[in-house]
């Protein structure tokens, strides 16, 4: 079995929950850092660096981001399942994001070393 290739991105990120009718904040598009905005009928989830979040909303801090090296073909199955199973077995909670090209896994910074050990059986991580 080939191991997946992951890259640990450098930023420390937060996950913020905004009201569904809250205007999406302007984020610095010119920066190379990662951010994600997802709007549903119930909420807006914002993943970004801490200095970009609006005040007064629930936030979970100190996450690290693992990028699955892609692009991943749409016909592939089980990519996230293969990566998330060892993390679940190690009792490491995750927050995932998928894009057109690839998948991202966020783990708490305090559990990063444990997560990397758990993933070592299925992935090679570029730090």
**Residue 84: Cβ-neighbour burial (10 angstroms; 0-12, 13-18, 19+):** middle
Q: Which residue has the tokens 């993933």?
A: 119
In this predicted structure, what is the pLDDT of residue 28? 66
CB-based contacts of 66, cutoff 8 Å, min separation 6: 6, 7, 8, 9, 104, 105, 106, 107, 115, 119, 125
The domains of the chain are located at 4-126
Q: Is the pTM of this model over 0.85?
A: yes
pLDDT in tens, the chain (127 residues): 679 999 999 999 999 999 898 887 776 665 668 889 999 999 999 999 888 887 888 999 999 999 999 888 888 888 999 999 999 999 999 999 999 999 999 999 999 999 999 999 999 999 8
**Is it true that domain 4-126 has CATH number 3.40.50.1820?**
no
DSSP for 55-71, please give it: TTS-EEEEEEEEEEPSP
Q: Which tokens hold the place of 56?
A: 């007064």
Going from the C-alpha of 67 to that of each of 22, 98, 103, the distances in angstroms are 28, 10, 6
Contact partners, residue 99, CB within 8 Å, separation at least 6: none
d(CA 40, CA 82): 27
């Amino acid at each position: 079995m080939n191991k997946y290739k992951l890259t640990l991105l450098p930023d420390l990120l937060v996950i913020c929950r905004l009201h569904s009718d809250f205007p999406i904040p302007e984020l610095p598009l010119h920066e190379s850092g990662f951010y994600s905005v997802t709007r549903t009928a119930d909420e807006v989830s914002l993943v970004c660096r801490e200095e970009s979040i609006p005040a007064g909303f629930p936030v979970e801090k100190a996450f690290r981001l693992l990028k699955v090296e892609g692009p991943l073909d749409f016909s592939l199955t089980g990519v996230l399942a293969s990566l998330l199973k060892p993390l679940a077995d190690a009792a490491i909670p995750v927050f995932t994001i998928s894009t057109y090209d690839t998948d991202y896994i966020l783990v708490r910074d305090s559990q990063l070393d444990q997560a990397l050990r758990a993933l070592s059986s299925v992935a090679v991580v570029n730090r």
